[in-house]
Chains A and B, each alone.
Chain A
Amino acid sequence: MKGYFYVVSTPLTLLDPSNMATSMERLRVLRGLIRELRHVHKKGPVKETIAYNYLMEQYRKHQVTDQRVCRAHQELQRNAETYLCLLKSTRLQQALHDEYYGKGERTTEETAKMLGFDLPQNPPDK
């Protein structure tokens, strides 16, 4: 989590209350991106992903500016949100697919349960 704390130490200009919402939003998206990148790279630290280093560089670059809410900030934020949506939706899509279509043939009972039905109970033969 070390990289995360680096980003939190924001310059004084960005701690201006009128920018608080934007800073919070930026952090939320960045945290989300890091979480998604962890899924991408399960076998090692997230710092080993190419995307992580690029993202950190972008966030750092757009902190070192004395303009409060400049266009580059907004663009980074928008692109970061879109990329987060891409990563998350792709992962969820795969998870849903594995859950519903990736398990081979289901038994009649399982399928019925999926649709909210119960199979009729056949009385035992006498």
Chain B
Amino acid sequence: MATGVFSVHAGRFLGRIFAPMQTIERQMAAARKRFYKNVSISQSNGMYEINLDRRKLKTPMSRLFSVPSEPIAIAVATEWEAQHKEIKMSQMHMTQLCNTAIDNPSKKTPQQIVDDILSFLETDTICYREESPVELAELEEREWEPLLDWVRQRYDIQLQSSTSIHGPTIPKDTKSTLKKHLLHYNHWSLVGVTSLVETLKSVVLSLALMDKHLTVEKAVALARLETEFQIMRWGNVEWAHDMELTDLRARAAASALFIHYNSERVTTKEKAPSWSA
């Protein structure tokens, strides 16, 4: 029972990306003990690899673990450094995002990935409104409507919220505009976007976070608005609410950083000395 609830939950989440049985088996199996002393990073052809003592880290599908971004490699190395006695893969979000990007186990094309992401729009948290209790409906209006205004303006799209059980109807133009935008992101970034949208259950919140319009904490708070409302009324239950909160924050933060470092262009340039010819 010790690993029970949490591991199965993580298993179901990863079930979208990996074969479900494989994941649950891995979670339920005896945890691997930390078998390495030192973690280091090495560079090869502009890519970064992780070394555990002398061994090179590999992905679940036995490919060489190799990432194009130094900050991401450092974050991954830090995750491996942070494992004390047992290796807790379920807490190693950066590592898992990289594994998914490298292995691409679902074998999806960027178009398919973007279509999957945008299919979340029909049940986007921000668009799916409650009618009662009245206080909740008002809270949602107050907190979520500005996000809708922002996304409409930023992407020049039409998007309405709905209180119907069927959710909002998403205009075709809206989807095609957002699709064009998302297809500018490379495969690695799209892996991060998928993870972010699945964590926040909202395309709108994900776009706002990616565009630095929201912080991670704020985005997660907005994603959990109804839960927060219930907590205010009925009290906080640490072993459920706080666990969900820290889990969402960790996943969203990892996804946001992953997207950023996979899609940034170098903007800082060295200042040329004034005497250069």
Contacts and interface: CB of A to CB of B under 8 A. Distances in A.
Given A40-B81, A49-B78, A50-B81, 20 more contacts: A42-B84, A49-B81, A50-B41, A50-B77, A72-B267, A81-B215, A82-B257, A85-B249, A89-B246, A89-B250, A90-B93, A91-B82, A92-B246, A94-B88, A96-B239, A97-B6, A100-B239, A102-B2, A103-B2, A114-B239
A29 B20 CA distance: 38
Contact of B81 (A41, A99, A101): A41
Contacts of B91: 90, 93-94
A19 interface: no
Interface in B111-162: none
| Majority DSSP secondary structure for residues of A touching B | helix
B232 interface: no
Contacts of B1: 104-105
Contacts, number: 102
| Majority DSSP secondary structure for residues of B touching A | helix
Nearest to B88: A94
Given A54-B71, A79-B257, A96 B243 contact: yes
B59 interface: no
B12 to A, nearest CB: 16
Interface of B: 1-6, 39-41, 70-71, 74-75, 77-79, 81-82, 84, 88, 91, 93-94, 212, 215-217, 238-239, 242-243, 246-247, 249-250, 253-254, 256-257, 260, 267-268
Nearest to A115: B237
A60 interface: no
25 contacts: A40-B81, A41-B81, A41-B82, A49-B78, A50-B81, A51-B75, A51-B78, A54-B71, A71-B267, A72-B267, A75-B267, A79-B257, A81-B216, A82-B253, A82-B256, A82-B260, A85-B253, A86-B94, A89-B253, A90-B250, A93-B243, A93-B247, A96-B238, A101-B5, A101-B6
Q: Which are the 6 A-B pairs with shortest beta-carbon distances?
A: A86-B253, A89-B249, A89-B250, A93-B246, A100-B239, A40-B82
Interface in A84-126: 85-87, 89-94, 96-97, 99-105, 114
Contacts of B4: 101
Interface string A24-48: 0000000000000101111000000
